[in-house]
Amino acid sequence: MNYAALDLTADVAELTHALLNINSVSGQETPLADAVEASLMRLPHLTVVRDGDALIARTEQGRSERVILAGHLDTVPLPTAPGSRGTVPASWDGDVLYGRGATDMKGGVAVQLALAASLQETDRDITYVFYDHEEVEASKSGLGRLARNHPELLDGDFAILLEPTNGTVEGGCNGTMRFEAALAGRAAHSARAWMGENAIHAAADVLSRLRDHEPLTINVDGLEFREGLNAVRIIGGTAGNVIPDSTVVEINYRFAPSRSIEEAETYVRTVLDGVDLVRTDAAAGARPGLTHPAAAAFVKTVGAEPKPKYGWTDVARFSELGIPAVNFGPGDALLAHSDNEHVAAEEIRRCLSALRTWLS
């Protein structure tokens, strides 16, 4: 395939199809970044900067307000189950497009590209951001790298992240953190189990506390954010005839954006008092920011009641930069990463229409 041949003037759903056919699993974004760069470089009204596999394209009209439209280029790995349709290459079923990244989030990226090509003069300056490594650990984030290397190019008054939201504005996002709970035992032959101490059995107390924990729902600036505290992985055991002497339970906490990282960690340690916990990762959430005039105007244009974003997204990074941000994009977030990931063509078109109306 000629990756330099993206037609940004095509129907936005067909543009999404073209993007889906370029495999861009995290760490393999270069071909897609090349195609996006080649397409943007053909637009004389934009200034384009590339950093690794991330790109920033900006209008320079001298307007008093600048908005940012951002989206990530990478996807999670392709499905391996037989008969999976959410893979590469993509396929149509009537007006529904199946493929890896259909919802998360190449439909949103297609909307960005369509706007970049069609909006040559607007009342606001626009910055389009396309970045790599969103679906992996935060230390690899292309958006984080852009913020470090080119902070002046990410300056703006308001940002929209085109993550899938079913075409409804979702304000803010929950924070997330992970812990490891290490349980110790004493190894022994399983035929003489009384000579050892079973570390996997010792995990029962941690698991039962997590099972019985009642997650909170916290109102933040008018939106109800549901929290979650769960075991997400357990590692232990060495052989089928050995009493395990160690096991590790990995725990994930999704916390309301009203909590700081320190407050969230204190909460988990209170729930699991007495458990040896090591925090391995943390990212703060973002408050909704819907009181910002640009956000209020955008919500009015969309017309639907705003909702909270339960998962963590890069609106939190924009919040750290002092830029109010919301999530708004085509597709159902519940289909993201699924074996049958798909999006309806009309959803992508509606998203494009709403943003074009607001921006122009």
DSSP letter at 135 equals S
Residue 227 has pLDDT above 50, yes or no: yes
Does residue 3 have a pLDDT over 60?
no
Give me the helices (H) in the chain, please: 12-20, 30-41, 107-118, 142-149, 199-202, 204-212, 261-271, 293-302, 315-320, 345-359
Read off the pLDDT of each residue in 269-279 and give the average, rounded to a whole number: 97
Q: How confident is the model at residue 293 (pLDDT cuts 50, 70, 90)?
A: confident
294 vs 328, more confident:
328
Percent of the chain with pLDDT over 90: 90
Q: What is the DSSP secondary-structure string of 299-341?
A: HHHH-SPPEE--S--THHHHHHTT--EEE--SS-GGGTT-TT-
Instruction: Give the confidence band of 308 by pLDDT, cuts at 50, 70, 90.
Output: very high
CA dihedral 76→81→82→83, nearest 10 degrees, is -60
pLDDT at 260: 95
- Taking the alpha carbons of 261, 265, 266, 270 in that order, is the dihedral positive or negative? positive
Location of structure tokens 């991330």 = 54
Look up residue 24 and give its amino acid. Answer: S
Active site positions, annotated: 74, 134
